[in-house]
Chains A and B, each alone.
Chain A
Amino acid sequence: MSFKDKLLSSYIALEDHLEFDSPLHDVRNNAIKIFEEKGFPTKKDEEWKYTSLNSLLKTDYSVYSNKERNVELQDVRKYFLNEIDTYKLVFIDGVYSSFLSETTHDTLDVCLMSAALNKKKYKPVIEAYFNKAAKSDSLTALNTAFTKEGAYIHIPAHKEVEKPIEILNFSTGNEAAMFLQPRNLIVVGENAHVQIIERHQSLSTNKVLTNSVTEIFAEKRAYVDYYKIQNDVESASLIDNTYISQQRDTVCRVHTFSFGGKLVRNNLNYFQNGENCDSTLKGITILKEKQHVDHNTLVHHISPNCESHQDYKGLFADSSVGVFNGKIIVEKDAQKIDAYQQNDNILIDDNATINAKPQLEIFADDVKCSHGCTIGQFDEEALFYLRSRGIGQKEARGLMMYAFANTVLESVKIPELKVRINKLIANKIGVNLGFEL
């Protein structure tokens, strides 16, 4: 039985436990039909030209974990942003861990998707927002059909959340191979501010494939800062689908730090549904060995007087592969748009590959769109400068890689996180920098 067939029969089993009169039931049924029709994407799909899921889909993943496994705080503590106080939503093999989490219902809701789906008081929010921003591609539909658990975050109007929210998905290796599908819904009310950090981390070397969907709704004047830390083990792969729907006067920033995992596909989609939106998409990718990371971004400019900024940097060693596919659509009515896209890459070794494909579809006539892409090696002049100061070739190259990647961090608003990422970068590159001074 193929993995697709296995999923389809799992859905039939799941359906038995669902409320048939829930409006969500139709959403699920439609979604599974889409998945059944389209199946997993292949390289024949234009959007998947450079990334193949084939080898990943040969594995017989468990769709549900049969055993529950306890995880001690000491095993996972290092993955939390310990330096500061945070709200935490922790999931172990797709199951919520109340022991490791720190939720709240005090003025804002930082809680579980499963609770939101089942409790009456959340019904209006679920009905208004759930699956409303997500596209109906097959992987998102697959996640929608199986929606069960994930983060539910609702920030009421004018609320400035005083501490960041961490969403942490751990897999324990309980099953020989695990398929996880977290589903997050984040609604940020008018003039509310929130900072969120998301991380997927495997605690074993057993295979994991995660197909995650996050929907973020920013109501007018909302401010959202979202950080994705992708530094997983070699046996873990991630398909991360994020949909951001912005109303007028909103600022939404997503930083994606891709340092690990076997295969990572980021589908990051922005929809500007009101005037004066600011969308920022930034990423640092540092890969080695046979790692593969594919950034697929979409900024859909639907309304006038908006801006978007994309800045992705990549460092590729060994035979690693990077993909940057950045699409900007400017609709006919979306005049006075300022859309900027920059993608800079350094290939460290001869066998490393980067596939870069900017796509601009512009239907308005009064817009400013710019895009640039560089693929390069090291600047010899700079290398000489460092070496002339007594810094050996290896360390000098490391410092230059660090300097190259570092500029993306300027817009990280949580200082402790910035230090963390800095250290991660230095560590990935193998430079020995003192941070205490």
Chain B
Amino acid sequence: MLKIKDLYAGLEGKDILKGINLEVKAGEVHAIMGPNGSGKSTLASVVAGKEEFEVTKGEIVYENEDISELDPEERAHKGIFLSFQYPIEIPGVSVTNFIKTAINETRKAKKMDDMPASEMLKMIKEKAAMLEIDRKFLSRSLNEGFSGGEKKRNEIFQMAMLEPKLAILDETDSGLDIDALKVVANGVNKLRSEDNAIVVITHYQRLLDHIVPDYVHVLMNGRIVKSGTKELAYELEERGYDWIKEELV
């Protein structure tokens, strides 16, 4: 589904990602871990198409197409979703109106008619129930005055509504207490299928108890320096990152 080949990308001529190689197949869950400033969020943003970052070398191949020149909305239309570490507040636009606009814009890009209102409402109801989201919450302005946990839950709600093929969750666990974490993880797990893939970016192994990854990668200084299975996450939790640095030397 996603093949990142020797990817170099950065800001203002300075590379943050220095030769990333990663392959994610349909049905898989990958976790990317690493210390602060290692390039985790940059990788997520570059795959989602943030224009601020310049790709200087390499390819991002998604479903056999190099997408590195596509606009963020075009990537979204193809089924790529990024759950933001810091979701943006949009006063005056309700969660419902926002998700409606997002879904119908995607349908428009695919030359489909708007989703019928009744179908939309039914879907909203279903997904909100799955994530234990209150109806009142849906009529509030998007992310405005939301707690950290509410913002993250709202991100996963959007993911559930948009049904992406490739979801990248950037620090979705930060700001969540254990109960909220379980609800969010449970929501994500329900969206797992043979046809889609999930990339989880996190500092902590905690989230990976609930969203169990098939592969764990360690990102350091813009490169994936170690890959393994979920056991690697436990090892990192226990030993930190220094031992990997030493291994590399």
**Residues in A lying within 8 Å of B, measured CB to CB:** 379-382, 384-393, 395-396, 399-400, 402-403, 405-407, 409, 422, 432-434, 436-437
- Closest A residue to B120 by beta carbon equals A437
A388-B72, A403-B91 known, 16 other contacts, Cβ within 8 Å: A381-B88, A384-B48, A384-B52, A384-B72, A387-B49, A387-B72, A388-B49, A391-B73, A392-B73, A393-B71, A399-B98, A403-B90, A407-B91, A433-B97, A434-B97, A436-B117
- B interface: dominant SS: helix
- Closest A residue to B83 by beta carbon equals A388
Contact (Cβ within 8 A) A402 B105: no
Contact (Cβ within 8 A) B101 A399: yes
Contact string against A for B residues 147-187, beta-carbon threshold 8 Å, 1 for contact and 0 otherwise:
00000000000100010000000000000000000000000
Interface size class of B (residues with CB under 8 A): 35 or more
Contact (Cβ within 8 A) B76 A437: no
User: Does chain A have a CB within 8 A of B82?
Assistant: yes
Contact (Cβ within 8 A) A433 B93: yes
Please, how many angstroms separate the alpha-carbon atoms of A400 and B92 in the complex? 10
- Closest A residue to B159 by beta carbon equals A389
Contact (Cβ within 8 A) B100 A437: yes
- Closest A residue to B80 by beta carbon equals A388
Q: Can you list 29 A-B contacts (CB < 8 A)?
A: A379-B88, A381-B88, A382-B90, A384-B51, A384-B52, A385-B84, A386-B88, A387-B72, A388-B49, A388-B73, A388-B76, A388-B81, A389-B158, A390-B73, A390-B76, A390-B109, A392-B109, A402-B93, A403-B90, A403-B92, A405-B92, A406-B91, A406-B92, A433-B97, A434-B100, A437-B94, A437-B97, A437-B100, A437-B139
**Residues in B lying within 8 Å of A, measured CB to CB:** 45, 48-52, 71-73, 75-77, 81-82, 84, 87-88, 90-94, 96-98, 100-103, 105-106, 109, 117, 139, 141, 158, 162
- Closest B residue to A399 by beta carbon equals B93
Question: Which residues of chain A have C-beta atoms less than 8 A from B88's C-beta?
Answer: 379, 381-382, 385-386
User: What's the nearest-Cβ distance from chain A to residue B44, in Å?
Assistant: 10
User: What's the nearest-Cβ distance from chain B to residue A411, in Å?
Assistant: 13
Please, how many angstroms separate the alpha-carbon atoms of A117 and B50 in the complex? 66
Question: Which residues of chain B have C-beta atoms less than 8 A from A392's C-beta?
Answer: 73, 105, 109
Contact (Cβ within 8 A) A387 B90: no
Please, how many angstroms separate the alpha-carbon atoms of A380 and B109 in the complex? 22
Pairs A-B, 4 closest by C-beta atoms: A406-B92, A390-B76, A390-B106, A387-B72
Question: Which residues of chain A have C-beta atoms less than 8 A from B102's C-beta?
Answer: 389-391
Question: Which residues of chain A have C-beta atoms less than 8 A from B100's C-beta?
Answer: 434, 437
- Closest B residue to A392 by beta carbon equals B73
- Closest A residue to B168 by beta carbon equals A388
User: What's the nearest-Cβ distance from chain A to residue B232, in Å?
Assistant: 29
- Closest B residue to A387 by beta carbon equals B72
Q: Within the complex, which residue of A382, A387, A396, A402 is in contact with B92, where a contact is CB–CB below 8 Å?
A: A402
Please, how many angstroms separate the alpha-carbon atoms of A338 and B100 in the complex? 42
Q: Within the complex, which residue of A382, A409, A432 is in contact with B101, where a contact is CB–CB below 8 Å?
A: A432
Please, how many angstroms separate the alpha-carbon atoms of A384 and B76 in the complex? 11
Q: Within the complex, which residue of A380, A387, A409, A434 is in contact with B52, where a contact is CB–CB below 8 Å?
A: A380
Please, how many angstroms separate the alpha-carbon atoms of A58 and B19 in the complex? 68
Question: Which residues of chain A have C-beta atoms less than 8 A from B81's C-beta?
Answer: 388
User: What's the nearest-Cβ distance from chain A to residue B169, in Å?
Assistant: 13
Question: Which residues of chain B have C-beta atoms less than 8 A from A406's C-beta?
Answer: 91-93
Contact (Cβ within 8 A) A388 B48: yes
Contact (Cβ within 8 A) A384 B158: no
Contact (Cβ within 8 A) B90 A393: no
Q: Within the complex, which residue of A388, A400, A409, A437 is in contact with B90, where a contact is CB–CB below 8 Å?
A: A400
Q: Known: A390-B162, A391-B73. Is A433-B101 also a contact (CB below 8 A)?
A: yes
Contact (Cβ within 8 A) B71 A387: yes
User: What's the nearest-Cβ distance from chain B to residue A145, in Å?
Assistant: 44
Question: Which residues of chain B have C-beta atoms less than 8 A from A388's C-beta?
Answer: 48-50, 72-73, 75-76, 81-82, 84
User: What's the nearest-Cβ distance from chain B to residue A362, in Å?
Assistant: 32
Please, how many angstroms separate the alpha-carbon atoms of A14 and B76 in the complex? 69
Question: Which residues of chain B have C-beta atoms less than 8 A from A393's C-beta?
Answer: 71, 73
Question: Which residues of chain B have C-beta atoms less than 8 A from A379's C-beta?
Answer: 88
Q: Within the complex, which residue of B73, B96, B141 is in contact with A387, where a contact is CB–CB below 8 Å?
A: B73
Please, how many angstroms separate the alpha-carbon atoms of A270 and B67 in the complex? 58
Question: Which residues of chain A have C-beta atoms less than 8 A from B45's C-beta?
Answer: 384
Q: Known: A384-B50, A384-B51. Is A390-B91 also a contact (CB below 8 A)?
A: no
- Closest B residue to A391 by beta carbon equals B105
Question: Which residues of chain B have C-beta atoms less than 8 A from A381's C-beta?
Answer: 88
User: What's the nearest-Cβ distance from chain A to residue B12, in Å?
Assistant: 14
Contact (Cβ within 8 A) B94 A395: no
Please, how many angstroms separate the alpha-carbon atoms of A299 and B50 in the complex? 45
Contact (Cβ within 8 A) B73 A385: no
Contact (Cβ within 8 A) A389 B92: no
Please, how many angstroms separate the alpha-carbon atoms of A437 and B94 in the complex? 9
Contact (Cβ within 8 A) B97 A390: no
- Closest A residue to B78 by beta carbon equals A390
Please, how many angstroms separate the alpha-carbon atoms of A61 and B91 in the complex? 44
Question: Which residues of chain A have C-beta atoms less than 8 A from B97's C-beta?
Answer: 433-434, 437
- Closest A residue to B104 by beta carbon equals A432
Contact (Cβ within 8 A) A390 B105: yes
Question: Which residues of chain A have C-beta atoms less than 8 A from B71's C-beta?
Answer: 387, 393
User: What's the nearest-Cβ distance from chain A to residue B41, in Å?
Assistant: 12
Please, how many angstroms separate the alpha-carbon atoms of A435 and B139 in the complex? 11
Please, how many angstroms separate the alpha-carbon atoms of A407 and B103 in the complex? 25
- Closest B residue to A436 by beta carbon equals B117
- Closest B residue to A422 by beta carbon equals B92
Q: Within the complex, which residue of A380, A382, A387 is in contact with B76, where a contact is CB–CB below 8 Å?
A: A387
Question: Which residues of chain B have C-beta atoms less than 8 A from A380's C-beta?
Answer: 51-52
Question: Which residues of chain A have C-beta atoms less than 8 A from B72's C-beta?
Answer: 384, 387-388
User: What's the nearest-Cβ distance from chain B to residue A158, in Å?
Assistant: 36
User: What's the nearest-Cβ distance from chain A to residue B214, in Å?
Assistant: 25
Please, how many angstroms separate the alpha-carbon atoms of A391 and B71 in the complex? 11
Question: Which residues of chain B have C-beta atoms less than 8 A from A402's C-beta?
Answer: 92-93
Question: Which residues of chain A have C-beta atoms less than 8 A from B52's C-beta?
Answer: 380, 384
